[in-house]
């Protein structure tokens, strides 16, 4: 494997997924069963065809049962699962030819419809499950069966720092990976997790969704608008991508709730709001204040501000809080425009707030929004 990738001029280390770890641990366990000797390293071919040679941790075996672990390495894209030990315990079943794959301690269980696995199944996604099964069959042949239990001793605790509870996966982490390799700074897995969450809501019968570009927006929607957390999807900085996914899946109503510092960029037509991609927050405020006829003194003062929170002080002092209502409507227009001419038709409402002043503006009255969405 090419161990590094270059992102924005930086040399970053690649890693491998929990799925690859589970597959490699399974191969190590079965090899010990067949050879009746300890395996110190194991070679595994990932779903994308990459070959890895990995250290085997905590190997043990008897005549019919063996266990081994592989340490998850996320490379320079390390997440909550980085460093976890992913175990596989394999028992050979001579009287049957089936291969059973299930989750043990620290692997979550699916409790909601709309995910890749059915309700009640262990959260071992289709690609890792297929790769484990293929590896087992190759090693034991067509006539023998095996029971494979994937476990993660610290998985239940670590799962609290993941999206799993929001997706209805309880009791541990998920065994994931479509390629088996973690590419540093890749946003694909994050976007994929958001799509899974949207699909789950749709499968539950919802056709309206609340989008928040971060934890602040989510907290405001829950605490100030009375919206259930389970109905809110954190779209992060991927505004345009998530809006198109919402429409593709089939939702027809969206409520966007967010901090002015993030959503003011959308008012200017920016649909990827991470600071590495865009800024223009203060410039957008100045331009819209100028169109309102604000005095030059206010424009100059706002132009020297570093944050939208800082700019809120002179805006309030000069009595130009109406700019927030203008921005909310522009966000509605901009977001609806990128979904125009596609089906289904989607209507979007917007709520803006600030950290100091709280509620700033919305495209409908706050009373209407609370009544419709809470």
Q: What is the mean pLDDT of residues 2-9?
A: 51
For residues 267 and 328, state if they share a domain: yes
Among candidate residues 182, 212, 231, the one where a domain is terminated? 182
Question: Given a cut of 60, is residue 4 above it in pLDDT?
Answer: no
pLDDT of residue 29: 98
Q: Is 348 helix (H, G, I), strand (E, B) or coil?
A: strand
pLDDT of residue 268: 95
φ and ψ of 123, to 5 deg: -80, 60
Question: Given a cut of 80, is residue 12 above it in pLDDT?
Answer: no
For residues 369 and 301, state if they share a domain: yes
For residues 147 and 133, state if they share a domain: yes
For residues 284 and 266, state if they share a domain: yes
Predicted confidence band of residue 11 (pLDDT cuts 50, 70, 90): low
Q: Is 164 helix (H, G, I), strand (E, B) or coil?
A: helix
Among candidate residues 123, 157, 182, the one where a domain is terminated? 182
For residues 207 and 175, state if they share a domain: no
What is the domain extent for residue 334?
Answer: 188-373
Closest CA to 368 of 342, 349, 341: 349
- Give the CA diameter of the chain: 86
Higher pLDDT residue, 236 or 23?
23
For residues 130 and 164, state if they share a domain: yes
Domain total of the chain: 2
For residues 94 and 206, state if they share a domain: no
Share of the chain above pLDDT 90, in %: 74
pLDDT of residue 3: 65
CATH number of the domain residue 21 falls in: 3.30.2110.10
For residues 153 and 222, state if they share a domain: no
Q: Copy the structure tokens of residue 349.
A: 């409402």
For residues 176 and 195, state if they share a domain: no
Q: What is the pLDDT of residues 72-116, one digit of tens each?
A: 998 776 678 999 999 999 999 988 999 999 999 999 999 987 677
Distance, CA of 365 to CA of 351 (rounded, Å): 9
Distance, CA of 107 to CA of 26 (rounded, Å): 15
pLDDT of residue 7: 46
For residues 93 and 229, state if they share a domain: no
pTM: 0.67
Q: What is the mean pLDDT of residues 2-21?
A: 68
pLDDT of residue 256: 98
Q: Cα–Cα distances in Å, from 307 out to 14, 24, 260, 302, 303?
A: 35, 48, 10, 9, 10
pLDDT of residue 264: 97
Q: What is the mean pLDDT of residues 149-160?
A: 96
Q: Copy the structure tokens of residue 254.
A: 């969206």
CB atoms within 10 A of CB 126: 11
For residues 130 and 212, state if they share a domain: no
Q: Which residue has the tokens 């209507």?
A: 347
Predicted confidence band of residue 6 (pLDDT cuts 50, 70, 90): very low
Q: Copy the structure tokens of residue 13.
A: 């280390």
Q: What is the pLDDT of residues 165-223, one digit of tens each?
A: 877 899 999 999 888 877 665 577 678 888 989 999 999 999 999 999 988 899 899 99
For residues 71 and 98, state if they share a domain: yes
Distance, CA of 184 to CA of 46 (rounded, Å): 17
Among candidate residues 182, 204, 233, the one where a domain is terminated? 182
pLDDT of residue 338: 95
Q: What is the mean pLDDT of residues 330-350?
A: 96
Q: Copy the structure tokens of residue 228.
A: 């259930």
Higher pLDDT residue, 177 or 346?
346
Of 3-7, 35-39, 126-130, 184-188, the poorest mean pLDDT is in 3-7
pLDDT of residue 87: 98
């Amino acid at each position: 494997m090419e161990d590094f990738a270059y992102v924005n001029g930086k040399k970053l280390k690649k890693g491998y997924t929990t799925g690859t770890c589970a597959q490699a641990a399974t191969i190590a366990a079965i090899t010990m069963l067949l050879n009746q000797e300890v395996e110190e390293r194991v070679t595994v071919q990932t779903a994308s065809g990459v070959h890895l040679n990995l250290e085997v941790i905590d190997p043990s075996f008897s005549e019919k049962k063996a266990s081994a672990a592989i340490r998850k390495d996320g490379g320079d894209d390390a997440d909550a699962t980085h460093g976890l030990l992913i175990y596989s315990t394999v028992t050979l079943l001579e009287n049957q030819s089936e291969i059973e794959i299930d989750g043990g301690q620290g692997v979550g269980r699916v409790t909601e419809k709309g995910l890749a696995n059915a309700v009640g199944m262990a959260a071992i996604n289709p690609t890792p499950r297929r790769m484990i099964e293929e590896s087992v069959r190759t090693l034991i042949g067509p006539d023998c069966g095996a029971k494979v239990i994937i476990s993660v001793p610290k998985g239940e605790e670590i799962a609290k720092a993941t999206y799993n509870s929001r997706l209805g996966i309880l009791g541990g982490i998920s065994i994931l990976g479509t390629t088996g390799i973690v590419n540093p700074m890749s946003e694909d897995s994050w976007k994929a997790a958001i799509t899974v969450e949207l699909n789950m809501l749709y499968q539950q019968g919802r056709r309206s969704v609340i989008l928040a570009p971060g934890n602040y927006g989510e907290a405001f929607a829950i605490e100030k608008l009375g919206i259930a957390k389970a109905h809110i999807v954190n779209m992060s900085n991927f505004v345009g991508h998530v809006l198109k996914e919402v429409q593709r899946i089939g939702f027809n109503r969206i409520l966007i709730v967010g901090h002015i510092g993030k959503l003011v960029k959308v008012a200017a037509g920016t649909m990827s709001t991470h600071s590495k991609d865009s800024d223009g927050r203060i410039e957008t405020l100045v331009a819209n204040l100028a169109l309102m006829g604000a005095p030059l003194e206010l424009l100059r003062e706002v132009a020297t501000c570093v944050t939208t929170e800082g700019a809120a002080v002179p805006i309030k002092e000069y009595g130009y809080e109406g700019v927030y209502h203008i921005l909310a409507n522009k966000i509605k227009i901009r977001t609806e425009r990128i979904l125009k001419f596609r089906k289904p038709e989607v209507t979007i409402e917007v709520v803006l707030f600030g950290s100091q002043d709280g509620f700033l503006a919305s495209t409908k009255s706050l009373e209407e929004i609370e009544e419709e969405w809470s």
